Structure 1
Amino acid sequence: MENRFFGLQIMPWKPQLTSNVPDVASLSVPIQVALLRLKLVSGNVGFWEVMLLQAVATCHFAKEWEAKRSGEGVLVVAGDLASFHRSLSRTANLRATMKHWAGLSSEGRTFIEMRLRLGQPSHQSFEDLDLENASDLAVLRDAVGAARRWLGEKPGAEHGAPIRALVQDVARVYRQATGKRPGLSSSETVAGSSYTTPFEDLLVAVLTEAGTPLSLEAARGLYRSELRNKSKKFWLVDEGLQSDWE
């Protein structure tokens, strides 16, 4: 059934995440090439490519929605998500969770399920979760929190919330796939100013796929901006991860 979010048509989600390499016609060659440069410690190129393409699809949806969203409607949905997140943080249980889910708008559910699909482990929908399992409740709590934070972003920045969220998703996939912390090169490196790290290649490829082609320096600046600002703690807490200076 057709669903509309403040005038924006939301089409049913079709891609299914699997660990198999998807149909060649659905792949992004630049992303695949960048992934082939990584030294993977988990999954395979096809699996991580699907994860990144799902992140790009989420970014496209979010940018389209951001361009058409109603300020009043955003406040309502964000408020519902904030209430749901507080409930999950305090007393997460099956009955309370089902009650909050039933009271959510279809728009709120859409954003939560988008984040569930991008999680690790990935869940295709709310129905995939075992709400009597503490781990699955934690996954749901994190997905609701991520959706709430995105809706709380204020428009007007040089790069909007959808692109900044995509940068975070690329870094997260990189860490999970390689076991390393994303690294940036610079003109001071021994390899010279033309050298790019595997993470930089991947970031530029994904941003281009998302319709935001940036130069290498611009992509580095965007990632550094995320490091400096609100996401600094998020990026740096990974103990035991190596740096990506290869």
Structure 2
Amino acid sequence: MAIKVIVAGAKGRMGTEAVKMILKDSELQLACGIDSKLDGVDVGEVIGLGHIGVPMHNDLEQALEQYEADVLVDLTTPQSGRRNMELALNKQVRPVVGTTGFSAQDITELSELCQQQQTGALIAPNFAIGAILMMKFAKQAAKYMPDVEIIEMHHNQKLDAPSGTAIKTAEMISEVREEHRQGHPEEKEEIDGARGAFFQGFPIHSVRLPGLVAHQQVIFGGEGQTLTLRHDSIDRSSFMPGINLAIKKVMHLEELVYGLDKIID
């Protein structure tokens, strides 16, 4: 039986790609799309696919009651993501969330809700398989080259900085890197913020420009050498294999998983 999926943010650029991916997979079924300003119109007509017989709704709570969905794919905003997860979990619908900006407290409280409902959920700062591999390689490299800086670059409409991917990468590095402040001990910023934002002693730099999609470099420095890991998403279709994998994996989870790296061997 196909997995029934609701897509929140179906009109957006990521949501549009997710709808196309779901329609192409016989193991998945699009139940409806969610957009706060649209109700009753056909999802396909909204995103340029023509009539597909699947409606758009402006109220997620009502949609969760109306459709017997298995999974909610949430590709909205940090302001909506937590509430949408709570609505889904309370209906025992499994959320797959690409929205970033969750705090540590959010993760803890949502994890507790998953346990209460015995319903799995997955939050992924990045769904691109290449980006997940970059994070894993960065963690491995940090064991041997602990001096590191992260430069993340995104389109200028991104709401959060640093990106969720950069934060997740930094967290994975910090698991194997002894915390220490990098740079000269008397280093002085002539302009505030010139050295970026420090995470456990190493800098993260955020770039926001039109024309970019999602890009990150992790640069390691050692005596007489440097190592650069770089990933570029040049099109949002790069995230779809990861979302597809997450939808299918979350059906077998009963807890909250933070990061696609946790379900990729």
TM range (shorter): under 0.3
More strand by share: 2
What TM-score results when the alignment is normalised by the length of structure 1? 0.25
Select the structure that is richer in helix.
Answer: 1
Could you tell me the TM-score, scaled by structure 2's length? Answer: 0.24
Which protein is bigger by CA-based radius of gyration?
2
